[in-house]
Amino acid sequence: MSLGAANAIPVTILTGSLGAGKTTLLNRILRNAGDRKVAVLVNDMGELNVDAELVSEESELSVADGTVAELSNGCICCELRDDLETAVVRLARERSFDHLVVEPSGISEPAPVARLFTGGSPAAARYEVDAVVAVVDARQFADTFDGDGEPTRTVETGGDGERRPLSDLLVEQVEFADLVVLNKRDLVSEAELARVKSVVRALRPDAEVIPAEYAAVSVDRLFDIRLFDPGTAAERAGWRRTLDEAESESESASAAHGDHRDHEHSHSHDNSHEHAHPEEAYGVDSFAYRRRRPFHPERAAALLSDLPESVLRAKGSMWVAGREDAHLTYSRAGPSAYAEATGRWVASLPEFEQDAYRRNRSDLGFEWDEEWGDRRTGLVFIGREMDEGALTAALDDCLLTDEEFSAEWDAFENAFPEEPGARTTLAEPTPEE
């Protein structure tokens, strides 16, 4: 990573679920900052406040205006009460410091925070992200993805009582992290720790993984490590890399052998799935399932709501009959699964918009079908000891038969969403006692 702005202030985004050890890690950072002046911007969601409990007992705390805390070592702690962008710009204008740590709420995703510091925003002109650090409770992670414990399976996402699956949150935080601190390693066995590492590495293959007890990690391993790359941050998740590599290999093979398929190709299964062995995955494998024939909505919903427990993570695009306009994204994390309409297929747009899209994307990464355009299914499955053959066969059984392909697709019973942003829950965690 290279600093995109002169004298840009490096930013560490510190994420992790409630109780994972972020507060402990923040204390260690502040206590061991050395000559660095560190500003810590904390999301005001109730789990962490700027008071004596935030900083180490050795630090003296004097509150200047109720929102900014001056620490004895020259660091600053701020409680985020207003818009994040406004807060970070004002902080840079009013205070002098060497490094900013932004800690979103434990129920927040790090990607939107990172986007604030990229592009043409006022914050991007003053700051540059150094790394996204995820603190993971190793015990909680093992319980959530091994199914042997009794984890908290949902977390509250706001004051209205709305909850979301914990597994979703853990996966999203790890998949966007440059560095993962596996905290509370003393609470898991060596075998459990190895399994947790394997899942983390499958979710984010190139993330640095640091096991720790009581968040004991050197500041030098957290600061000035220059791991964040705004151009590839979202593409570095394990599922995305597996799918991209599968599509790239398929396109290369097609170009090498020539493409003589006729119109019937759009009715074919396009039987391609690629197996991947993530480096140092320690028993966790992944494979990509790609088809150019739509799913039957009822059969697909039944299967995708009840995948084998060996599947820890699944994500990708879906083409479902009866939803010809809706680009559906399927996501499974541990025991939870949902399908969301994340946009429209390009082929459903007016012809001039399709042409503009294709002109601007000379390398689509997939074959454009003359009848169906970009409609396709590309799903990645990550798991431990998965029966790839059986799962692939089950997915193929969900595709439309030739007879169904010729039928009226709107007549099918269809629970999948249609409007952009709409979501259908397919599987939920076991309710808490």
Residues 381 and 419 in one domain: yes
Q: Examine the domain organization and report whether 216 and 290 are in the same domain.
A: no
In a domain, 336, yes or no: yes
> Does residue 155 sit in the same domain as residue 205?
yes
Beta bridge partners of 339: 330, 424
Q: Is residue 96 part of a domain?
A: yes
Residues 158 and 37 in one domain: yes
Does some domain include residue 2? no
Residues, the chain: 433
Q: What confidence tens digit (pLDDT) does each residue in 205-234 have?
A: 888 999 999 999 999 999 999 999 887 766
76 plus 179 within the same structural domain = yes
Residue 3 within any structural domain of the chain = no
Q: What is the DSSP letter of 220?
A: G
Counting the structural domains of the chain, the total is: 2
Give the residue with greater pLDDT, 57 vs 92.
92
CA distance 292 to 310: 26
Shared domain check, 43 and 174: yes
Residue ranges making up the domain that contains 356: 238-427
Do 119 and 252 sit in the same domain of this protein?
no
CATH, residue 33: 3.40.50.300
Q: Which of 201, 233, 265 is the last residue of a domain?
A: 233
| Residue 304's CATH number | 3.30.1220.10
Q: Which of the residue ranges 119-133, 260-274, 332-346 would you say has the lowest mean pLDDT?
A: 260-274
Alpha helices in 68-109 (DSSP H): 84-94
Residue with tokens 């004991």: 216
- Give the burial class of 178: count Cβ atoms within 10 A of its Cβ; 0-12 exposed, 13-18 middle, 19 or more buried: buried
Distances (CA, A) of 417 to 321, 343, 424: 12, 11, 6
Q: Mark whether 198 and 253 lie in a shared domain.
A: no
Task: Give the end of a domain, one of 210, 233, 256.
Answer: 233
pLDDT (mean) for 36-41? 84
More confident residue, 123 or 3: 123
Give the Cα separation of 223 and 225 in Å (integer).
Answer: 5
pTM of the model: 0.69
What average pLDDT does the segment 3-9 reach? 66
Domain boundary among 233, 252, 270: 233
What confidence tens digit (pLDDT) does each residue in 270-308 have?
555 554 444 444 467 888 999 999 999 999 999 999 999
Residues 162, 128 share a domain: yes
Kindly state whether residue 433 falls inside one of the protein's structural domains.
no
Residue spans of beta strands (DSSP E) within 269-321: 272-276, 284-291, 311-318
Residues 37 and 71 in one domain: yes
Quick check: is 22 in a domain? yes
Q: Are residues 293 and 242 in the same domain?
A: yes
Same domain, 135 and 247: no
Least confident interval from 99-103, 200-204, 241-245, 290-294: 241-245
